[in-house]
Amino acid sequence: MIQAFRENKDIHRTTASTIFNIPLEEVTDTYRRYAKAVNFGIIYGISDFGLSENVGITVKEAKKYIEDYLKKYPKIKEYMDNTKNIAVEKGYVETKFGRRRYVPNIKSQNYIIREQAKRIAMNAPIQGTAADITKIAMVKIEERIKKEKLNAKILLQVHDEIIVECNNNIKDKIANILKEEMEKAAVLQVPIIADIRISEVMDK
């Protein structure tokens, strides 16, 4: 999976090829949709019932997809188990940058509450690290704008998107700054790829 990211391949299509044992070129949109649901669902600790509801398959099929996925990608299962164990031992988990998410309910006597805490523990380091990277990029972008005295400002951050307003005559320069700072905000085993979109607003 890491190699697929490094080669900038369609990760969902690659996953579908792996877990369904079919050539990449034979992966249909339906199989890709199933794989995408598994890729994102696993980090939320999705159940076989939850997956079946999401993609419209039987619980039995969903269970097999999850089992096959974890067999094909044993390091993901290892990560999930280790993260839950850390949460139980320490009472919290951390992002790559050391920001903590406390999960006191990980030791709850109530099964439903405890399982929810486990899902939070598995997901928090992933989503939390993504949030950290976005915030680091925002700080660096703001520093570049000020340093280079550009007539631009950060308007909004939505999940992993950063929206910047600027004059049309510097839009390409701002786009380059965004891409540069977002892609080098963190050093990971896989590259960070930032897609840039420019929308022009005409003066009235």
Half-sphere exposure of 8 (CA within 13 A, CB side): 5
Question: pLDDT averaged over the chain?
Answer: 90
Check residue 97 and give its pLDDT: 96
Confidence at residue 40, expressed as pLDDT on a 0 to 100 scale: 84
Q: pLDDT, tens digit, for every residue of 175-194?
A: 999 999 999 999 988 889 89
Q: What is the pLDDT of residue 110?
A: 96
Query: In this model, does residue 28 exceed pLDDT 60?
Result: yes
Residue showing tokens 């990760």: 11
Ranges of each domain in the chain = 1-72
Q: Is the pLDDT of residue 57 over 90?
A: no
- pLDDT higher than 70, residue 158: yes
What is the 3-class SS of the chain, one letter each residue? CHHHHHCCCCHHHHHHHHHCCCCHHHCCHHHHHHHHHHHHHHCCCCCHHHHHHHHCCCHHHHHHHHHHHHHHCHHHHHHHHHHHHHHHHHCEEECCCCCEEECHHHHCCCHHHHHHHHHHHHHHHHHHHHHHHHHHHHHHHHHHHHHCCCCEEEEEEECCEEEEEECHHHHHHHHHHHHHHHHCCCCCCCCCCCCCCCCCCCCC
pLDDT grade, residue 202 (50/70/90)? low
**With 0-12 CB in 10 A as exposed, 13-18 as middle and 19+ as buried, what is 42?**
buried
Between strands 152-158 and 161-166, the pairing is: antiparallel
Q: What local confidence, expressed as pLDDT, does residue 10 receive?
A: 85
Q: How confident is the model at residue 84 (pLDDT cuts 50, 70, 90)?
A: very high
- Give the model's pLDDT for residue 170: 94
pTM score, two decimals? 0.83
pLDDT at site 203: 57
With helix as H, strand as E and coil as C, how does 71-128 read? HHCHHHHHHHHHHHHHHHHHCEEECCCCCEEECHHHHCCCHHHHHHHHHHHHHHHHHH
* pLDDT, tens digit (0-9, with 9 covering 90-100), for 100-123: 999 999 999 999 999 999 999 999
- Beta-carbon contacts of residue 151 (< 8 Å; ≥ 6 apart): 166, 167, 170
